[in-house]
């Protein structure tokens, strides 16, 4: 099946710094990418949807200035957590799909810890 | 809007026991239905899917049948193994290319 690579898998950063998470589709063109956040022992909460070449659509309650999403190419989307705080610590997962495909492929996830 | 409800765990079974994880959904139109599995510290992996009513998805001994009349997509396995210990998410995707909607997840622990 299709492969989505997410990097880094784990990151620890200091409060006030920014962290960038990359999501790459390795063998298909991802026209749409989704970013999710998962709290411990909870389900995935959609943060935003991005289509290549256009601005991301954020879900209600997600700060677009804090969680910057860039989908500059058909194989790469990035999520930047700006001015991170301990409450931003979480597991972030991306998924990607190509046009016309009912299935989305998930990255391995990134565990962010802000200290 | 679309929603997914699934039985909340944790579910603890002995090896070789029969597994059922219930999942029901609410959606307009004809969504596609999925089961994803998440092993500790990892992302989600597609386990199986069904795209229309009465379809049966199957993989690695797991099965689920798309039942439109009961709006259900229950996951079953006849004989679980310790390696099946994970969190299982039921999910749907609408038929207009919308994003996925996930259930809360069910944690399964299989004891030797």
pLDDT tens readout for residues B6-51:
988 899 999 999 999 999 999 988 899 999 999 887 888 899 999 9
Distances (CA, A) of B42 to A84, B36, B82: 23, 12, 17
Distance CA B5, CA B23 (A): 6
Chain A CB contacts of B103 below 8 Å:
43
CA B106, distance to chain mean position in Å, is: 9
Say whether pLDDT at A56 is over 70: yes
Cβ distance of B102 and A43 shorter than 8 Å: yes
Chain B CB contacts of A43 below 8 Å:
89, 102-105
Determine the 3-state secondary structure of A86 from DSSP.
helix
Cβ distance of A106 and B36 shorter than 8 Å: yes
Minimum CA–CA partner of A50 in chain B: B99
Question: How would residue A100 be classed by pLDDT, with cut points 50, 70 and 90?
Answer: low
Judge contact between B25 and B33, C-beta under 8 A. Answer: yes
Find which of B99, B103, B106, B109 to mutate to test the A interface (most A CBs within 10 Å of its CB). B99
Say whether pLDDT at A65 is over 80: yes
Instruction: Provide long-range contacts, Cβ within 8 A and 24+ apart, for A67-71.
Output: A67/A35, A69/A35, A71/A33
Mean pLDDT of chain A: 90
DSSP, res B72:
B
Nearest by CB: B100 against A1, A104, A111: A104
Judge contact between B73 and B64, C-beta under 8 A. Answer: yes
Chain B CB contacts of A32 below 8 Å:
97
Say whether pLDDT at A101 is over 70: no
Distance CA B99, CA B14 (A): 36
Distance CA A21, CA A107 (A): 11
CA distance B111 to chain A (A): 20
Give the pLDDT confidence of B51-93 residue by residue, as tens digits.
999 999 999 999 999 999 999 999 999 999 999 999 999 999 8
Distances (CA, A) of A63 to A34, A81, A82, B80, B88: 15, 10, 10, 42, 29
CA distance A66 to chain B (A): 22
Distance CA B36, CA A64 (A): 28
Cβ distance of B34 and A46 shorter than 8 Å: no
- Select from A17, A37, A7 the least CA-distant residue to A86: A17
Give the pLDDT confidence of A67-96 residue by residue, as tens digits.
999 988 889 999 999 999 999 999 999 999
Question: How would residue A5 be classed by pLDDT, with cut points 50, 70 and 90?
Answer: very high
Determine the 3-state secondary structure of B20 from DSSP.
strand
Token digits for A78?
């990035």
Longest Cα separation, chain A: 41
- So what's the pLDDT on residue B49? 94
Chain A CB contacts of B49 below 8 Å:
102-103
**B100 at A interface, C-beta within 8 A:** yes
């Amino acid at each position: 099946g299709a492969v989505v690579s997410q990097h880094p898998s784990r990151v620890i950063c200091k409060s006030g710094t920014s962290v960038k998470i990359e999501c790459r589709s390795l063998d298909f063109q991802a026209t749409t990418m989704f970013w999710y956040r998962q709290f411990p022992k909870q389900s995935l909460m959609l943060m935003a949807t991005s289509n290549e070449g256009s601005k991301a659509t954020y879900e209600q309650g997600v700060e677009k200035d804090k969680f910057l999403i860039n989908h500059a190419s058909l194989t790469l989307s990035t999520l930047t957590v700006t001015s991170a705080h301990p409450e931003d610590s979480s597991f972030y997962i991306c998924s990607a799909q190509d046009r016309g495909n009912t299935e989305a492929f998930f990255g391995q996830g990134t565990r962010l810890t802000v200290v | 809007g679309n929603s997914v409800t699934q039985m909340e765990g944790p579910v603890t079974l002995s090896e070789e026991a029969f597994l059922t994880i219930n999942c029901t959904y609410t959606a307009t139109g004809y969504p596609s239905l999925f089961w994803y599995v998440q092993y500790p510290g990892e992302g989600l992996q597609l386990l199986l899917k069904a795209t229309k009513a009465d379809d049966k998805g199957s993989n690695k001994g797991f099965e689920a049948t798309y039942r439109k009349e009961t709006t259900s997509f229950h996951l079953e396995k006849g004989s679980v193994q310790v390696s099946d210990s994970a969190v299982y998410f039921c999910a749907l995707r609408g038929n207009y290319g919308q994003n996925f909607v996930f259930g809360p997840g069910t944690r399964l622990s299989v004891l030797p």
